[in-house]
Structure 1
Amino acid sequence: MKHSQKTTKSEWMLTSLFVGEIFVKTKEILGLIDLLNQQLEAANKSEEIDRTFGVFLLLQSVLLHSAQLSMIFHPTWKKRRHRGHLLRTAFNMPDEIGFLQDRKMRDHIAHMDERLHAWYEESPNKVFVRRFFGERGGIAGDAITSGDIFEQYIPEERVFIFRGDEYDMIRLLSCTQKIMKKAEIINKHAWWTDDFKSYFLE
């Protein structure tokens, strides 16, 4: 079925704008990841740099930007779902876009107040660990559970953990790079041309 049969001229133009926004958003994510790597490299060279603050600030920014990218492909408002379907069809990258769809980690950051309240009600020993930078098992003690650790980053694995939920930053980097390249290819074509619209056939 051709989407052009039910997509108006103004919708094609808007869709093109969203493809451009996807390119911009992916570029921002990659820029933030690059800054994160620079922060890690600088911290490894000097003990005077407080890497904890900078690393976790950048991690939060990356997560929020990736969630914004996800919402372009998977809008929550029912009236906008046709747009999401068009874009997912055009990019044809179910694995990469599907990875971004998991907004659990973003929700942890955005709803820190609720997570803290839940921790207080659930934690048996009330041992609170915030922004731990280090390897798995780096905090010893039977009194500490995975649910007691708010924000942990494992630099060797490039994994971000929040109360036991893990987010693979290497996978995010790979998915974002592939989506950006596809957005750049699609946006080489003007929105009114058949070449542009051909990406949206299914």
Structure 2
Amino acid sequence: MTKADRDFVFLIFALTESARALRARYEIERLGGVRKQVQPGIVAREFQSVFEQIRLALQFSSNVSKIFWPHGKAASKAAKRGDRLRNLAGLPGRHQLSDRRLRNHIGHIDERLDDWTEQSPCRRARQDFNSP
């Protein structure tokens, strides 16, 4: 078994997740341009794969955020690790990835979907149908 520097492991993980997020982003752009003519005047787009790539890009970006801006109090081991890694990588303390809203949206996707679909026309129609 070989030993690896702890910071090196975290930085390699962040680098790998960053590369995966960028590949997903480029794939989103590529798939966004895919159109198939189903019949004259009707064009289909590849939405399922686009949404999958969006989800992957967000998840990979969230993983990078966790490495450099971990959750916890300023005195925690994780917070100290984040400070040290940001310093090694030359990242400022305030960065787009430091905003935890993205991470929270991903981590609590079920709650976000509840909120988003609360006013769904289909949901209201079912409620109206089931009402006495």
> Which residue is equivalent to 1:135?
none
**Contact 1:73-1:87 within 8 A present in 2 as well:** yes
2:100 aligns with one of 81, 103, 106: 103
Which structure carries more helix by proportion? 2
**Contact 2:70-2:79 within 8 A present in 1 as well:** yes
The change in CA–CA distance for 1:110 and 1:83 in structure 2 (over 3 A counts) is: closer
2:34 aligns with one of 35, 38, 42: 42
> Which residue is equivalent to 2:126?
none
1:80 aligns with one of 78, 81, 103: 78
Counterparts in 2 of 1:55-66, with a 5 A limit? 55-66=50-61
**Contact 1:67-1:101 within 8 A present in 2 as well:** no
What is the DSSP-based 3-state SS (H/G/I as helix, E as strand, rest coil) of the residue aligned with 2:87?
A: helix
Segments of 4+ moved more than 3 angstroms: 47-50, 116-121
The change in CA–CA distance for 1:65 and 1:47 in structure 2 (over 3 A counts) is: farther
> Which residue is equivalent to 2:112?
115
Q: Does 1:24 align with 2:16?
A: yes
**Contact 1:36-1:59 within 8 A present in 2 as well:** yes
Shift of 1:128: 5.2
**Contact 2:31-2:49 within 8 A present in 1 as well:** yes
Q: Does 1:92 align with 2:84?
A: no
1:80-123 CA distance string (max 9 Å, x none): 2221111111222327x6101223234334423322433566xx
Task: Indicate the structure whose relative CO is greater, using CA pairs within 8 Å and at least 6 residues apart.
Answer: 1
**Contact 2:24-2:53 within 8 A present in 1 as well:** yes
1:121-153 CA distance string (max 9 Å, x none): 6xxxx3459xxxxxxxxxxxxxxxxxxxxxxxx
What is the DSSP-based 3-state SS (H/G/I as helix, E as strand, rest coil) of the residue aligned with 2:70?
A: coil
- Scaled by the length of structure 2, the TM-score of the pair is 0.68
Aligned AA for 1:100?
L
What is the DSSP-based 3-state SS (H/G/I as helix, E as strand, rest coil) of the residue aligned with 1:94?
A: coil
- In the alignment of these two chains, the number of paired residues is 112
Q: Does 1:15 align with 2:20?
A: no
The change in CA–CA distance for 1:79 and 1:91 in structure 2 (over 3 A counts) is: same
What is the DSSP-based 3-state SS (H/G/I as helix, E as strand, rest coil) of the residue aligned with 1:27?
A: helix
Shift of 1:38: 1.6
CA distance in 2, matches of 1:28, 1:107: 20
Aligned AA for 2:27?
L
Any gaps of 5 or more consecutive residues in structure 2? Answer: 39-43, 123-132
The change in CA–CA distance for 1:21 and 1:128 in structure 2 (over 3 A counts) is: farther
> Which residue is equivalent to 2:66?
71
Any gaps of 5 or more consecutive residues in structure 1? Answer: 1-9, 130-202
CA distance in 2, matches of 1:47, 1:110: 37
Taking only the aligned residue pairs, the percentage that are identical comes to 26
